[in-house]
Structure 1
């Protein structure tokens, strides 16, 4: 196995498991506070990694950089973490990763005016049908994990992912103006997104010494450490390397593997439900993603 193939396998494993600590830690602390803590730490470390390049952002790029950071990280992860706290981790991963190429197609059409071909329309239709299978029985009360907000949790994950895709498309014009491209952009988007998450958390959640101390308690502390160390730093480092060596298409293939890992982990470790309706929905969404990601 080549080094990049081994790194790809590690990336799929790490990002497939990130929904598990979110689900576990959110039972003991606010999901918004957890998201804010993750990005405060990760943002600071990424800025240190970018070094002097972090200070070389063109002045004209700052308004778009701030706006996209609030979409890609603040809005995305506020909805994502809240949703993952109420929905099974495996299904949250499927909705998140499999809808990225679908929402991106729609965002590119609305923002950049790129035509939606017949193949892309098929991808959107399949993805919509897949979401229907995942949501249908939950909305009718026929299946679920017992959380009354489970359907809303999946909807929150889907909406957060849409915010991410809109922000990603809006980021394209400024990517080429950044030193070391992806690293500098991601560093500032993470740091600015963290600031936005702090504001959202303070407005919506009670935050005091007890809540902050809870971040250092079991099982929140190891979950947070995994999200920062493995999810943000290791995962992002590997993704940048694969983006360089394999291109966006090859690096993006993690979206087909990581959700499978998330489902298996959720079923085995948290006894999360995964029946025929979920399997059909997942298959349709993976097919949609495959069509959308086709070269």
Structure 2
């Protein structure tokens, strides 16, 4: 009897260990997928104009999102009372921000783009304080100061000035991060009951179509001049970075706390900097490495307010 119990416990521990290992590997998969997104965008916009590249990426991803919705038997239509919210998400989460990111990467390296966009969770914190009256702790304020101070030093070390095209690219990326953060906060207010599948599927399809058509009229892309590398990058962005990353992230939402999962935004820039430096064949300078670590450490502090943790430790069990 004792032997059978011991064997059963050993089997249960083995299953728990395998489940934790699978979760860890999937977490790293999301970090790698989102970390390589920035290089994929940079390769895509080498020969595809920004509006067209954004539209094609979403049009490639849309059929798979629809398939995923069908498999899960979920509607792709927003409730009628959320029509305004649907338009807001389509334009301000998918449409404009992804064009701005693509435009930004025509002037800024993929690694720097990821570092700048990593400000997004901090903007969520600020918008939550403004619109949802959530508290910002002193340690979080210190983390914000450290993070943005480090970002300024990174931009300075990269030689970006007010007259430089790269500065316009940085502003575009920051604008995209701000819009994404605002969308997350508004979603918390008005769209919490909408499933993740519904939230993504139709907006990504309509945003892709609009971006593609606007690009067709304004940019007038020459498809014969698009390189094979750019096409492969668009396919990667549509199939793996968008759909694959989304599915795995959706899976992890059921198994990890939001705080732990939010550290994806701290880790993926590390992958982006390393992969971008490898692709460009350039070493990561000491200044860039130091200020990048400081930036990510500052933003990590915003996710784990020291005062709140100490209060929990001090409270009786």
TM-score by length of 2: 0.81
Residues 66 and 201, structure 2, Cα contact 8 Å, conserved in 1: yes
Q: Rate the CA distance shift 1:292–1:62 in 2: closer, same or farther, 3 A.
A: same
Q: Distance in 1 between matches of 2:245 and 2:287?
A: 31
Which of 1 and 2 has greater Rg?
2
Residues 66 and 76, structure 2, Cα contact 8 Å, conserved in 1: no
Q: Distance in 2 between matches of 1:106 and 1:255?
A: 16
Q: What's 1:131 paired with?
A: 151
Q: 2:212 aligns with which of 198, 201, 216?
A: 198
Q: 1:257 aligns with which of 267, 280, 287?
A: 267
Q: How many residues align?
A: 283
Residues 76 and 201, structure 2, Cα contact 8 Å, conserved in 1: no
Q: What's 2:99 paired with?
A: 78
Q: 1:3 aligns with which of 7, 22, 25?
A: 22
Q: What's 2:9 paired with?
A: none
Cα deviation for residue 60 of structure 1 reads 0.5
The gaps in structure 1 that reach 5 residues or longer are: 142-147
Q: Distance in 2 between matches of 1:171 and 1:31?
A: 27
SS in 2 for 1:113: coil
Cα deviation for residue 272 of structure 1 reads 4.3
Cα deviation for residue 112 of structure 1 reads 2.2
Q: Distance in 1 between matches of 2:250 and 2:75?
A: 17
Q: What's 1:218 paired with?
A: 228
Q: Distance in 1 between matches of 2:63 and 2:282?
A: 34
Residues 242 and 250, structure 1, Cα contact 8 Å, conserved in 2: no
1:13-34 superposed Cα distances (whole Å, 9 cap, x missing partner): 1111111121122111112211
What is the alpha-carbon root mean square deviation over aligned residues? 2.3
- After superposition, where does 1:30-109 map in structure 2 within 5 Å? 30-51=49-70, 52-55=73-76, 57-96=78-117, 98-109=118-129
Q: Distance in 2 between matches of 1:55 and 1:241?
A: 19
SS in 2 for 1:54: coil
**2:179 pairs with 1:163:** yes
User: Once superposed, which parts of structure 1, at least 4 consecutive aligned residues long, lie more than 4 Å away?
Assistant: none
Residues 111 and 274, structure 2, Cα contact 8 Å, conserved in 1: yes
**2:197 pairs with 1:187:** no
Q: Rate the CA distance shift 1:132–1:16 in 2: closer, same or farther, 3 A.
A: same
Q: What's 1:277 paired with?
A: 287
**2:38 pairs with 1:19:** yes
Residues 54 and 187, structure 1, Cα contact 8 Å, conserved in 2: no
After TM superposition, the structure 1 stretch with the greater mean CA deviation from structure 2, 127-136 or 274-283, is: 274-283
After TM superposition, the structure 1 stretch with the greater mean CA deviation from structure 2, 187-196 or 102-111, is: 187-196
Q: Distance in 1 between matches of 2:187 and 2:303?
A: 19
Q: Rate the CA distance shift 1:27–1:280 in 2: closer, same or farther, 3 A.
A: same
Q: Distance in 1 between matches of 2:76 and 2:238?
A: 23
**2:298 pairs with 1:291:** no
SS in 2 for 1:86: coil
TM-score by length of 1: 0.87
Cα deviation for residue 55 of structure 1 reads 4.5
Q: 2:247 aligns with which of 220, 237, 241?
A: 237
After TM superposition, the structure 1 stretch with the greater mean CA deviation from structure 2, 44-53 or 20-29, is: 44-53
